[in-house]
Structure 1
Amino acid sequence: MTAAGFDSTPHSETTESGAQPSAPSIGVFDSGFGGLTVLRSLLERIPSASYTYLGDTARLPYGAKSQATVARYAVSSAKFLVEEQGAEYLVIACNTASALALDEIRASVSVPVLGVVETGANAAQASSRTGDVLVVATAATVESHAYAAACRERGLRALEKACPLLVPLVEEGWIDHPVTREVLSIYLSELMQQTHDAGLMPDTLVLGCTHYPLLRPLIERSVPASLHVIDSAEVTAAQVAEALCAPKDTASAVKPASRFFATDSVSKFRALGSRFLGRPIEGVELVNLGG
């Protein structure tokens, strides 16, 4: 097993007959659309894989639910991807589910599972020299203190900041809108003041929400140049590739096979999801996972 929790042997070595093994089948799960930024990075990083994406749009937002409810929803989604769609590896591209239900998900399926909170913390550990890390995320993720705990396990101090208005602004398509720039400026100014008050010397900023990669250029222009901004989608894809021993081949002519499922609002998923994925989503299948 690798540090990411993936057993890469079946896909990194040839078989006894000398034939190359089949491409990995990767399931990606989120409560909605944001996880498509993770899939976007995976498609670029591991084009030889086949992908199944599930957005549990009927039951979002997870952030307003109890831990037990989030775990129940996430487990049913994980089982759908593994038991019904044949996913061999599972990426939890949902910060709330990664923060509140990762242990339950891992206990419910027989394949390796990777969550975006741990990938972000791993990347922060590799990046930071001062040991002080900043995290911007949704209110639910911040209230869980999952990033703070994951960073503490890695010998880092983390200061978390909730930025609840950013998700609806991204979903509205206001990626570089004056309103978004102003809201972001307020959040980051508050974060810098909190950093000063706490006596921290951060050199790393983790984007702890899968919507935020769409705002990365704006965020990088808004923070000191000394802060290294970590894109949770990008580092998750890199850590999956490392675990699977997949070569970096962004120029491959292989067109990844992808299927998309949503538990509600298929037309909205197709329209909005295409923005997150950076390419058209031709077909989305409706699936009923119950209450």
Structure 2
Amino acid sequence: MPGALADRPIGVFDSGIGGLSVLNALRDALPHERFAYFADTAHAPYGERGDAYVAQRTRTVARYLRDRHGIKALVVACNTATAAAIHELRAEHPNLTVVGVEPALKPAVAASSTGHIAVLATRVTVESRKFAALHASLAGRADFRIIPCDGLAGAIEGGDAAGIAALSERYLRQAGSFGTAPGQIDTLVLGCTHYPFIAAELRRHCGEAVRFIDTGAPVALQTRRLLAQAGQLATEGEGAVALLSSAAPEALDAAAARWLARSGVPAALAGA
């Protein structure tokens, strides 16, 4: 039987709607869990803010979810926030299971046949120390074309179809030639949780043969493993989601209706 800690919700946090892609994977892997999803829409997009700003907001939202919603775990479903603040979060909340995301460079190396990999991510992510260390750890194992995608997460957040199309074309052109021939890029890392929502648009520019790698499923499996290890895994009951937003909850409602499996939960305004 699950205990008191197991009955508590899991917090999932992103600067906006991108983390819904991770939430989908979490719900698939953890069907009995309750989730509190927080979109910090009032302060998005994080990818074009400074590290100090992103770290401050991340810490504020973590405290809000812990104090107001009694979460047992926090999934930072944002590459930018993970890069800026994951170490501080773990230090400040030693009794909380904290899981971050990062661009899936290691799985991409394992998946690539040509050894040429493109990475799309926000500028803050690719310029972070955490990303630099990850990239350096894979030196010599693949040729990475790293593209900071200014404006793309914001266009997805705002539902700007024309902007999404133009920016996708621009950044994939910058990456180089896609395909499975020697020297071509055969693997694309979606290094921002917003980007899986535009996979169809991205594929228009790189072709069907290119493999896309994102972080949703690995993050969900890691969350499940850590909760089971801590004896906090919910093993019965029906899962549920609470949607919270620091501004414009109707935008989160619309995104959830479009992209969140088993949606229909109205979003609430939250003052973190």
TM-score normalised by the chain length of structure 2:
0.79
Partner of 1:124: 108
Q: Does 1:275 align with 2:258?
A: yes
Equivalent residue number for residue 70 of structure 1: 54
Offset of 1:287 from its aligned partner? Answer: 2.2
1:44 counterpart = 2:21: no
Pick from 172, 191, 197: which aligns with 1:214? 197
Q: What is the CA deviation profile of residues 167-217 of structure 1, one whole-angstrom value per residue up to 9, with x for unaligned ones? A: 34433546xx67744542332122016x9xxx9765432101111111223
Please list, as runs of the form range in 1=range in 2, the aligned pairs for 1:124-273 lying within 5 A after superposition. 124-128=108-112, 132-144=116-128, 146-154=130-138, 156-157=141-142, 158-173=144-159, 180-181=164-165, 183-192=167-176, 203-223=186-206, 227-244=210-227, 255-273=238-256
Alignment pair present for 1:113 and 2:109: no
Q: Within 2, Cα distance between the matches of 1:268 and 1:178?
A: 18
Paired AA for residue 98 in structure 2? V
Alignment correspondent of 2:76 = 92
Shift of residue 20, structure 1, vs aligned partner: 5.2
Q: CA deviation at 1:24?
A: 6.5
- Contact 1:71 1:105 (8 Å CA) reproduced: no
CA gap 1:82/1:121 in 2 versus in 1, 3 angstroms: farther
Return the letter of the residue paired with 1:135: V
Quickly say closer, same or farther: Cα 1:57–1:181, change in 2 above 3 A: closer
Q: Is 1:58 paired with 2:42?
A: yes
- Specify the alignment match of 1:102 in structure 2: 86
Give deviations 1:229-286, integer Å, cap 9, x for gaps.
102223322332344459xxxxx99642111221122222222343232454432222
Q: Which runs of 5+ in 2 are unaligned?
A: 230-234
Offset at residue 51 of structure 1 (A): 0.7
Match 1:35 to one of 19, 38, 44: 19
RMSD: 3.3
Q: What's the counterpart of residue 232 of structure 2?
A: none
**Equivalences, count:** 260
Q: TM-score, normalised by structure 1?
A: 0.74
Identity %: 33
